[in-house]
């Protein structure tokens, strides 16, 4: 019969007598997330890669064919396609991150309870949230990365370095939303609450945060409302970088807002999950 348990101090077994560092705590879940990705990537291809390109085709190319205005009315974009692509990618970053941090978080707490299984190991709730958000970052980065690469041949980017920097901005944008949504999902008890996020959050933001048209078209009041949304900051910064129309002070404000939203959301995510699992 194999020896399956420790019989005393002489055993050469793995022992952690200290807290894991945040990095170690997250890295120990690498194999788990790898298997999660291996079993979900095929299903995610449609939502992550194919449907965004449908948007580009329908809105950017086909609808955009009717839009003939001077670049000055498109925030400096030479064509409607060049205007809409950065906005769509930034919005895709938000959507990817929100999807990854709604049902999967609820599942880990309520349905398959994987968080609770993981918490019976040296991992802490902090490590679970970090790894979860890292995986979300990976999903945002790959989805947006592919988007940028596919769009490059269409001549919508003014420089080569602009989209590279913009890729980083889309990650920042996605994670700002992902962190807050994680906190929300770790707090609510029922998946019915997600309807709120999708209908009152995601869709209005997607439509009115400057992805499809310049927010100056909204009129002075609504324009200022749009300027208060984190997505607009993401869209605007991504677009300025892609079109090489960067205004330094605006860019600094955009980046600062996104960082503040991300850091506060991350803090809240860690705190909310810790409270939830201690109950």
Contacts to other proteins by CB under 8 A: 1-9, 11, 13-20, 24, 28-32, 35-36, 39, 112-114, 116-124, 277-279
Q: For other proteins, which is the closer residue by CB, 39 or 68? A: 39
Q: For other proteins, which is the closer residue by CB, 150 or 277? A: 277
Q: For other proteins, which is the closer residue by CB, 21 or 217? A: 21
Cα 94 from Cα 50, distance rounded (Å): 16
Q: For other proteins, which is the closer residue by CB, 253 or 277? A: 277
CB 40 to other proteins: min, Å: 9
Vertex 169, ends 67 and 39: CA angle to 5°?
100
Q: For other proteins, which is the closer residue by CB, 138 or 206? A: 138
Phi, psi for residue 12 in degrees, rounded to 5: -90, 75
Q: For other proteins, which is the closer residue by CB, 113 or 199? A: 113
CB 279 to other proteins: min, Å: 7
Q: For other proteins, which is the closer residue by CB, 1 or 50? A: 1
Q: 152: which 2 tokens?
A: 């490059």
Put residue 66 in one of left, alpha, beta given phi > 0 → left and psi -120 to 50 → alpha: alpha
CB 24 to other proteins: min, Å: 7
CB 187 to other proteins: min, Å: 12
Cα 141 from Cα 254, distance rounded (Å): 19
3-state secondary structure of 49: helix
CB 114 to other proteins: min, Å: 6
CB 224 to other proteins: min, Å: 37
Handedness of CA 264, 36, 167, 55 (dihedral sign): negative
Cα 205 from Cα 203, distance rounded (Å): 5
Q: In this structure, how many other beta carbons lie within 10 angstroms of the beta carbon of residue 37?
A: 14
CB 4 to other proteins: min, Å: 5
> Whose CA is closest to 91, among 261, 219, 233?
233
Alpha carbon 176 to its chain centroid, in Å, reads 7
Q: In this structure, how many other beta carbons lie within 10 angstroms of the beta carbon of residue 158?
A: 17
Q: In this structure, how many other beta carbons lie within 10 angstroms of the beta carbon of residue 24?
A: 13
């Amino acid at each position: 019969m194999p020896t399956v348990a420790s019989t005393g101090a002489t055993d050469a077994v793995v022992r952690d007598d200290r807290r894991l560092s945040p990095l170690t705590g997250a890295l120990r879940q690498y194999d788990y997330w790898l298997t999660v990705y291996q079993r979900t990537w095929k299903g995610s291809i449609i939502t992550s890669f194919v449907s965004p390109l449908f948007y580009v085709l329908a809105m950017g190319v086909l609808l955009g064919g009717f839009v003939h205005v001077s670049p000055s009315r498109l925030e400096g974009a030479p064509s409607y396609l060049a205007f809409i692509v950065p906005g769509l990618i930034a919005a895709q970053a938000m959507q990817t991150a929100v999807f990854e941090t709604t049902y999967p978080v609820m599942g880990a707490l309520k349905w398959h309870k994987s968080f609770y299984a993981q918490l019976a190991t040296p991992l802490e709730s902090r490590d679970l949230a970090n790894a979860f958000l890292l995986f979300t970052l990976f999903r945002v980065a790959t989805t947006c990365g592919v988007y940028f690469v596919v769009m490059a041949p269409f001549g919508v980017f003014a420089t080569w370095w602009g989209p590279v920097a913009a890729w980083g901005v889309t990650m920042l944008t996605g994670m700002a939303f992902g962190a807050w949504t994680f906190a929300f999902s770790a707090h609510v008890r029922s998946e019915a609450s997600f309807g709120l996020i999708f209908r009152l959050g995601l869709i209005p933001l997607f439509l009115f945060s400057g992805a499809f048209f310049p927010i100056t078209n909204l009129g002075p009041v609504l324009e200022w409302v749009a300027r208060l949304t984190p997505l607009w900051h993401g869209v605007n910064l991504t677009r300025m970088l892609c079109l090489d129309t960067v205004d330094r002070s605006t860019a600094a404000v955009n980046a600062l807002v996104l960082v503040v939203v991300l850091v506060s959301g991350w803090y809240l995510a860690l705190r909310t999950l810790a409270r939830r699992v201690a109950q």
